[in-house]
Amino acid sequence: MNELKRTPLYEEHLAHKAKLIDFGGWEMPVQYVGVIDEHHAVRTKAGLFDVSHMGEIEVRGQDALEFIQMLITNDVSKLEDGRILYSPMCYPSGGIVDDLLVYRYNSQHFLIVVNASNTDKDYAWILKQADSFNVNLENVSDQYAQLALQGPLAETVLQRITELNLSQIKYYSFTHGNIDGISCLVSRTGYTGEDGFEIYVTPEHSRQLWRKILEVGALEGVQPIGLGARDTLRFEARLPLYGNELGAEISPLEAGLGIFVKLDKVNFIGKEVILAQKEQGVPRKLVGLEMIDRGIARSHYPLQKDGQEIGFVTSGSFSPTLNKNIALGLIKADLAIQGQILDVMIRGKAVKARIVPSLFYKRENQTKPKESGVVSDKVLSSIA
Amino acid sequence: MNPVDLKYNKEHEYAKVEGNIITFGITDHAQKSLGDVVFVELPDVGATVTAGKSYGTVESVKAVSDISASVSGKVVEVNTSVMDTPDLLNSDPYGEGWLIKVEAEDFAPLESMMSVEEYETLLAQEEH
């Protein structure tokens, strides 16, 4: 058995009495004080996440732009330098290898950020596609620690320790600068449905930065947040998770990510199958579910209608913000009708749920709308 | 912290014996390991439960746990408060967070359960 990997912030998690779990081969904090408390902290104040386990792959070279265009479904050619794009990356079958962020330095230099548990798989996949392109690829995951400060007070708190004018960093943009005297890459991105920043820093400086942010945010109650709340936060905001809403057997159209698939691009891996699916209609659709009977729908529980299996739950949980039990499910497209009632099979028992809009949570005063095809709430609310 | 008058098992459940009525619940250690409890499913009054078999579930935000009966018998009382307010299991597992009361058919299974001293020894071992 492989030993679990640890981030440079491992000792900090111990100091904060985190409960640690194996997450995709990483020993990560699932919670510090409690999932619900941490969830509310991010929705109402701000919370600090260690997301150093995320993978980073650098793409450089003359053909970098062309290569990424072929690799992902979204269109990176229209992206300005200094901006970020969200995209699925597909197999020729149309199934999803991973979902990722592309940071564009310029047309010959990009940084791709991928899911932690997929990093090795993704890197191998990307390398394999690169044969006929003039590009240099490097898995630089070990060179970066990553902190995410998320919540309505994120900008206020972070601004105290940087000369950068954070209000100038637009949603899905990034810049370089010093935070607490440490050189960082800062982007206005996140995975919580709140405003916030993701900060890339060298492993050596990550502990200083972690402590400093908690110190300067202490007055507002900024606290460390574990993966448990990260999951409930992203789920309420309908941000997909690989292994749940996304996978090798699920196409981006089925997962409701059609807006990030640019079928007018010359070519990309998976295009033929996805195009055919678009023309013939997608077989399945992702829907929101709200429990009518008592019970919590969990990932992979079967969904039935009139005793027939029609799909499965992709994510399900008690929603701390809404104070009710909700889920996302992938079901036969012709049954994906708002208001329909179906059965969640919980340990062999049929428990009723209703199809509802899948964007369970949308933050107020969302002043920075999507510009480059990010998973914006607006876009996703139009899908369900 | 763990009451001296209870019997404990390795699954971190307790049984409180009062005559032939046995109250089931989960221990303080169990609630801490689970984290915030958000859902509890319990049998109805009049149902029968079997020693060692699951009679319901306790769910936290992240986990689903079966709860098993310490003795066989008929359910005579169900704590409906914990179904409406599951966090009682976190705040008061030995008091308001009890789960069901069962009229025991046979007391024998209780003999294999642990005393508080034995249970705390187990907890100490599990920490290492």
Domain coordinates in residue numbering, chain B: 6-126
* Distance, CA of A380 to CA of A362 (rounded, Å): 10
Give the gap in angstroms from C-alpha B19 to the nearest C-alpha of chain A. Answer: 33
Give the gap in angstroms from C-alpha B96 to the nearest C-alpha of chain A. Answer: 20
Q: Which helix (H) or strand (E) holds A339?
A: none
Fold of A55-141: Alpha-Beta Plaits (3.30.70)
Reduced to 3 states (helix: H, G, I; strand: E, B; else coil), residue B34 is: helix
Question: For chain A, what are the domain ranges?
Answer: 10-52+144-236, 55-141, 283-381
Which tokens go with A142?
A: 């070990």
- Indicate the residue type of A84: I
Give, in words, the CATH class of B6-126: mainly beta
Strand B48-49 and strand B54-60: the pairing is unpaired
Please report the pLDDT score of residue A56 as a whole number.
Answer: 98
Looking at the partner chain, which of A35, A295, A296 has a beta carbon nearest the beta carbon of B35? A35
Give the gap in angstroms from C-alpha B61 to the nearest C-alpha of chain A. Answer: 6
Task: Write out pLDDT tens, residues B85-103.
Answer: 999 999 999 999 999 999 9
Characterise A300 by phi-psi region: left (phi > 0), alpha (psi -120 to 50), beta (else).
left
* Distance, CA of A309 to CA of A304 (rounded, Å): 4
Contacts of A296 in chain B (CB under 8 A): 38-39, 59, 64
- Indicate the residue type of A296: I
Please report the pLDDT score of residue A365 as a whole number.
Answer: 66
Instruction: Give chain A's mean pLDDT.
Output: 94
Looking at the partner chain, which of A37, A231, A318 has a beta carbon nearest the beta carbon of B38? A318
Could you give the count of Cα atoms lying within 13 Å of A164 in the half-sphere of its Cβ?
29
Chain position carrying tokens 């995410």: A148
Task: Write out pLDDT tens, residues A19-59.
Answer: 999 999 999 999 999 999 999 999 999 999 999 999 999 99
Task: Write out pLDDT tens, residues A272-287.
Answer: 999 999 999 999 999 9
Question: Looking at B11-125, which runs of residues are DSSP E strands?
Answer: 13-18, 21-26, 37-41, 48-49, 54-60, 64-68, 73-78, 100-104
* Distance, CA of B125 to CA of B128 (rounded, Å): 6
Strand A223-224 and strand A47-50: the pairing is parallel
How many C-beta atoms lie closer than 10 Å to residue A142's C-beta?
12
**pLDDT band at residue A366 using 50, 70 and 90 as cut-offs:** low
* Phi and psi angles of residue A360, each rounded to the nearest 5 degrees, phi first: -75, -30
Please report the pLDDT score of residue B75 as a whole number.
Answer: 98
Please report the pLDDT score of residue B126 as a whole number.
Answer: 86
**Positions at the binding site of A:** 198
pTM for the whole thing? 0.92
Task: Write out pLDDT tens, residues A175-226.
Answer: 999 999 999 999 999 999 999 999 999 999 999 999 999 999 999 999 999 9
- Superfamily holding A283-381: Aminomethyltransferase beta-barrel domains (2.40.30.110)
Number of A/B CB contacts below 8 angstroms equals 38
Please report the pLDDT score of residue A374 as a whole number.
Answer: 47
Sheet of A84-90: strand order equals A84-90, A96-106, A109-114, A55-60, A136-139
Contacts of B57 in chain A (CB under 8 A): 347
* Distance, CA of B70 to CA of B11 (rounded, Å): 10
Please report the pLDDT score of residue B89 as a whole number.
Answer: 97
**pLDDT band at residue A382 using 50, 70 and 90 as cut-offs:** very low
Q: Does A345 touch chain B (CB under 8 A)?
A: no
Looking at the partner chain, which of A37, A232, A296 has a beta carbon nearest the beta carbon of B39? A296
Torsion of CA B83, B88, B93, B97, to 10 degrees: -40
Domain A10-52+144-236 has CATH 3.30.1360.120: yes
Query: Which residue from B minimizes the CA distance to A229?
Result: B61
Is the Cα dihedral A287, A332, A98, A67 positive or negative? Answer: negative
Does the beta-carbon distance from B36 to A294 stay under 8 Å?
no
* Distance, CA of B16 to CA of B110 (rounded, Å): 10
Give the gap in angstroms from C-alpha A176 to the nearest C-alpha of chain B. Answer: 36
Task: Write out pLDDT tens, residues B49-72.
Answer: 999 999 999 999 989 999 999 999
Contacts of A34 in chain B (CB under 8 A): 35-36
Q: Does A173 touch chain B (CB under 8 A)?
A: no
Does the beta-carbon distance from A19 to B38 stay under 8 Å?
no
